Amino acid sequence: MTVICDWLDVTYAPDNTPERAVLDVLQLAGAECIVTSEKGSSWRVGDGVFKLEYARTHHRYSASGAVLEKLREAAVLMDYLSALSEAPVTVTRLDAAHDVLSDAPPILAKLRKRFPRECSLSRKAVRTKFILEVREDGKETGTWYVGHRSKARVTARVYDKQNQMLERHGVLLPPMTRYELTFKKDIGATLRDAAEPESLFWHYASPVLLKRPENVPEWSSGWAVGWHYERPEIALGELLKARIGASGELHAILALADRADCMEWCGQLIQRMIAEFDRQHEPESKPEWEPTPAMVEYAKKPKKRA
């Protein structure tokens, strides 16, 4: 199975961000704003949440794994990454995940035996940890961590994906184990690594956790130089249609108006809001000033000397 980007955090200078371009792409995937304030906003995208945070020194854009999955499903992930690239950007967190079609309990048992205290994925070894769970079939499963909640540049977790999906979503998958690596800012990951995470993942996962497949390109922190993706222009009409169609709040308002038998009045209120918006956003224009006849006569009168 392929390697996917399963989390992506990036930061920008506060005075140079691609906010409008990013939100346009998210709304193509049905994003809906759920919280907004002077500190930022949160958007529901599929089953995940995209967060835009404003701080004094930087702005942070955070997309969870579920957000990225929805963007892949809507075929706009590359458009999202292209929008992120419209301003100088720093990748501060990138998660890369790889699923193996094997039952997790024996894999986790081997990892616990092989690395009982620590494991090295980069320059130095970090602590390992195991959180135990027991499946319905009685087998011991759970999550094995490398560098859990540490400041290490690279951390990892290996867990029972089949059991997770069954418990959280009631979805039964075939036996499946997920290997997931988290890369911090010091690694030097780029947006190309979010688009093509295979090289980065295998650079650190092999040979400690898994055997590297053949034909995977070598990774280095500068390999994104010259990489480019041409994002197609977004039709604003298409964006507006997607935004209205995905608005749960708008649908709830219409349902309430229907229950109250006041759909016509609801439409009038919406029209009034539109008119008020137009009034507030019209370009400021001042009417041409013309003096009255009385003002002209007054101007012609000789002025008394002091």
In a domain, residue 168? The reply is no
In a domain, residue 255? The reply is yes
In a domain, residue 258? The reply is yes
Range of the domain at 257: 247-277
pTM, full prediction: 0.81
- Name the E strands within 136-210: 140-146, 154-160, 177-184
Query: What is the structure's pLDDT at 298?
Result: 58
In a domain, residue 260? The reply is yes
What SS3 state is found at 104? helix
In a domain, residue 259? The reply is yes
In a domain, residue 269? The reply is yes
Contacts of 286 by beta carbon, 8 Å cutoff, 6+ apart? none
Rg (CA), the chain: 28
Query: What is the structure's pLDDT at 223?
Result: 76
In a domain, residue 268? The reply is yes
In a domain, residue 175? The reply is no
pLDDT tens series, the chain, 306 aa: 799 999 999 999 999 999 999 999 999 898 989 999 999 999 999 999 999 999 999 999 999 999 999 999 999 999 999 999 999 999 999 999 999 999 999 999 999 999 999 999 988 899 999 999 999 999 999 999 999 999 999 999 999 999 999 999 899 999 999 999 999 999 999 999 999 999 999 999 999 999 999 999 999 887 776 677 777 777 788 778 877 887 778 888 999 999 999 999 999 999 999 888 888 877 654 445 555 566 566 566 665 554
| Number of structural domains found in the chain | 1
Burial class from Cβ neighbours inside 10 Å (0-12, 13-18, 19+) for residue 95 reads buried
Contacts of 285 by beta carbon, 8 Å cutoff, 6+ apart? none
